[in-house]
Amino acid sequence: MPSLKEYKAKLASLANTRKMTKTMKMVAASKLYRTMDAQRKALHYAEKLSEMLGRLAASVDHRAHPLLQKPAETKRSLVLVVMSDKGMCGGFNNNLIKHLSRWMHMPQQQEKNFRFSFAGRRGWLFFRNRVAVEKHYEGITQRPGPSDALHIGTDLRQAFLGGAVDEVYIAYNHFINPLSQRPVIRKLLPIEPQSIAVGARQIQDNYILEPKQAELLATLLPKIVDFEVYFALLENAAGENGARMTAMDSATSNASKMIRTYTLLRNRARQASITKELIEIVSGAEALKG
């Protein structure tokens, strides 16, 4: 049986652990709210963007744009993997890794040649020695901004338009609520024509258009790609913090449980030592009486 002193040390370290996990949980919660706020604002922009696109697409043939062109054969795919930079968030990253590995080995993917870009250290650390790495964007998944998405989006578009790859996918965790996230893999490029909701409301004749309608549309189409990337980054950040919150909550309650158990054990050890000392005193006195 461990000594009283060992129990005390163990209890002190458990109390420290609990304090840490509790703090991490609270930090994750506040980051989660900030990210959810950013998501709400982003959706507002998306609404306006798709409305504008729909109106411009209504009277111009948008199918001709290079970002919508399906290559003759799809042999080379680029996948952008969005994951967190840090661990300590339960199965958040592992779920996506598993999902992605399964997806890559599905029969319809056998013929394809995959390359990967990473946003977030965790995915990169896992895959760097397993697959062909195109690029690793560091330090953006904690607080993603529109300019980060622009940077990544431009790289992806250039790879597609330059003919280096035939299609581009994005893999990330869809944020359902703080308790659950679902890994998803979506095609980013070429843009599916039906994803542009052609608006019923056309642009009236008296509008001044500068430059021409087709060129305006060409300015806005890449914005969809950038926005998808931005939103995936936000979903990932929200999911990461949600998952961390949940993981740290259970870690805190586990620590509390252990503290209770160890307090009992410590008290028992202390009582045992007191009893032992009493027995020694009593038996010593008995011996003196002789």
Q: Is 52 in the site for other proteins (CB under 8 A)?
A: yes
198 touches 63 (CB < 8 A): no
Please say which residue, 81 or 140, places its beta carbon nearer to other proteins.
140
Report which of 167, 176, 35, 174 is spatially closest to residue 96, judged by C-alpha positions: 174
Among positions 6, 71, 207, 277, the unique one binding other proteins when judged by CB under 8 A: 207
Q: Is 151 in the site for other proteins (CB under 8 A)?
A: yes
Please say which residue, 129 or 206, places its beta carbon nearer to other proteins.
206
Name the 3-class secondary structure at 139: coil
- Report 152-181 residues binding other proteins (CB under 8 A): 154, 158
Q: Is 216 in the site for other proteins (CB under 8 A)?
A: yes
- The piece of 1-9, 17-25, 39-47, 179-187 that touches other proteins (CB under 8 A) is 39-47
**Separation CA 76–CA 111 (nearest Å):** 9
Helix (H) or strand (E) holding 100: helix 92-104
Is the peptide bond prior to 190 cis by the omega test (within 30 degrees of 0)?
yes
- The piece of 90-98, 150-158, 170-178, 246-254 that touches other proteins (CB under 8 A) is 150-158
Q: Is 220 in the site for other proteins (CB under 8 A)?
A: yes
Please say which residue, 144 or 242, places its beta carbon nearer to other proteins.
144
- Report 230-289 residues binding other proteins (CB under 8 A): 230
What residues form DSSP beta bridges with 173? 183
Q: Is 22 in the site for other proteins (CB under 8 A)?
A: no
Q: Is 227 in the site for other proteins (CB under 8 A)?
A: yes
Angle at 251 between CA 83 and CA 120, to 5 degrees: 10
Count CB neighbours of 96 within 10 A.
Answer: 28
Among positions 44, 86, 98, 130, the unique one binding other proteins when judged by CB under 8 A: 44
Strands 180-189 and 113-119, bridge-based pairing? unpaired
Please say which residue, 24 or 53, places its beta carbon nearer to other proteins.
53
For 280, the token pair is 């020694």
For the chain, the farthest-separated pair of C-alpha atoms sits apart, in whole angstroms, at 121
Among positions 29, 203, 258, 259, the unique one binding other proteins when judged by CB under 8 A: 203
For residue 112, give the DSSP letter: -
Name the 3-class secondary structure at 188: strand
Q: Is 56 in the site for other proteins (CB under 8 A)?
A: yes
CA 7 to chain centre: 39
For 89, the token pair is 């968030």
Work out how close the CB of 189 gets to other proteins at its nearest, in angstroms, rounded to a whole number: 16
Among positions 85, 166, 167, 226, the unique one binding other proteins when judged by CB under 8 A: 226
Please say which residue, 143 or 270, places its beta carbon nearer to other proteins.
143
Among positions 146, 202, 256, 265, the unique one binding other proteins when judged by CB under 8 A: 146
Count CB neighbours of 253 within 10 A.
Answer: 13
Strands 133-137 and 180-189, bridge-based pairing? unpaired
Residue 166: phi and psi, rounded to 5, are -95, -20
Work out how close the CB of 39 gets to other proteins at its nearest, in angstroms, rounded to a whole number: 10
Residues forming the site for other proteins (CB under 8 A): 38, 41-42, 44-46, 48-49, 52, 56, 145-147, 149-151, 154, 158, 203-204, 206-211, 215-216, 219-220, 223, 226-227, 230
